[in-house]
Structure 1
């Protein structure tokens, strides 16, 4: 049996997330034997729709084995943190199109999304432990899918933080106001994002504005998850589900 792995991100006009994805794919590849291949794809901001990216990667990964009787298996790991519309609807639809085009030559398996891994909390807790603060805000992107924020709320609660959302309520500013009103003067923000990019830059700018608005408060901004051997380990574990 031949196997290949495709790490799937949202996609961005910013080059930094793509570079980080390539680095992460390299770390995951190190856990595999030489006959396995790890690639990357993007749901959006790509010249090709996802199902065509999947088909193209499968051809490059399996090559002549597509013409043999070998069982070719492609595992797709969505590197998304929330069970939003992309994870629950868009990605499965694109994978179904790719499977339809591939026929019986390839078995395409959609693995659990990254945010569902139980050990992701440990990576976030490690970042929190490195910064001293009286109160923490876990800042996620947010989703229009009903119920998707429950995972963020649960994660924030387990970390001793409060949740806020970049693309919906409660906003970062409203959470800061609540904490300031409660008497906190050392507030740290943990971006619940994979990599640095346009949004994390915008978050940093927003915090600079909050510093002017709340001059008596000491704000600190943690880094997003970023590329690490620990993150690669979680992704590898998801490929085995």
Structure 2
């Protein structure tokens, strides 16, 4: 079984904003030797979720770990992503999807916010 990772970001009309999600994916790939890893977007940017999965399928993946790059457990997490995965699964019955939690309320995020507060002195 070959496993791939799909990082799912919200997406923005601003390319610079989307590049941050891609940069995070590149850091995860580099620092933790996770490959294949694809970053996709729910809105306003490419690849979308279905296209991201197609990239992984083309790389021979049969298991996809879907990791949301979202802070909160909102509509995209509870409804949109699971519904899209269900539809994509109909076209690719050989694929197994597992979905991780959003980033959530985490002490590491609180620490990073504190550091940003300190930067503005």
Q: TM-score range by the shorter chain?
A: 0.7 to 0.9
Distance in 2 (CA, whole Å) between partners of 1:60 and 1:97 is 18
Structure 2: 5+ residue stretches without partners: none
Structure 1: 5+ residue stretches without partners: 67-71, 133-219, 223-241
Q: How many residues align?
A: 120
TM-score calculated relative to the size of structure 2: 0.82
Report the CA distance shift for 1:98/1:221 in structure 2 as closer, same or farther (over 3 A): farther
Alignment-derived partner of residue 91 in structure 1: 81
- Secondary structure of the structure 1 residue equivalent to 2:85: helix
Alignment-derived partner of residue 44 in structure 1: 43
Q: Which runs of 4+ in 1 moved over 3 A?
A: 46-49, 129-132
Alignment-derived partner of residue 32 in structure 1: 33
- Secondary structure of the structure 2 residue equivalent to 1:125: helix
Kindly report the root-mean-square deviation, in angstroms, between the aligned alpha carbons of the 2 structures.
2.6
TM-score calculated relative to the size of structure 1: 0.44
Q: Say which one has the larger Rg.
A: 1
- Secondary structure of the structure 1 residue equivalent to 2:77: helix
Alignment-derived partner of residue 20 in structure 2: 20
Report the CA distance shift for 1:124/1:49 in structure 2 as closer, same or farther (over 3 A): same
Alignment-derived partner of residue 233 in structure 1: none
Output one character per residue of 1:145-204: Cα deviation in whole Å (capped at 9) or x when no partner: xxxxxxxxxxxxxxxxxxxxxxxxxxxxxxxxxxxxxxxxxxxxxxxxxxxxxxxxxxxx
Alignment-derived partner of residue 58 in structure 2: 60
CA contact 2:40–2:46 (8 Å) conserved in 1: no
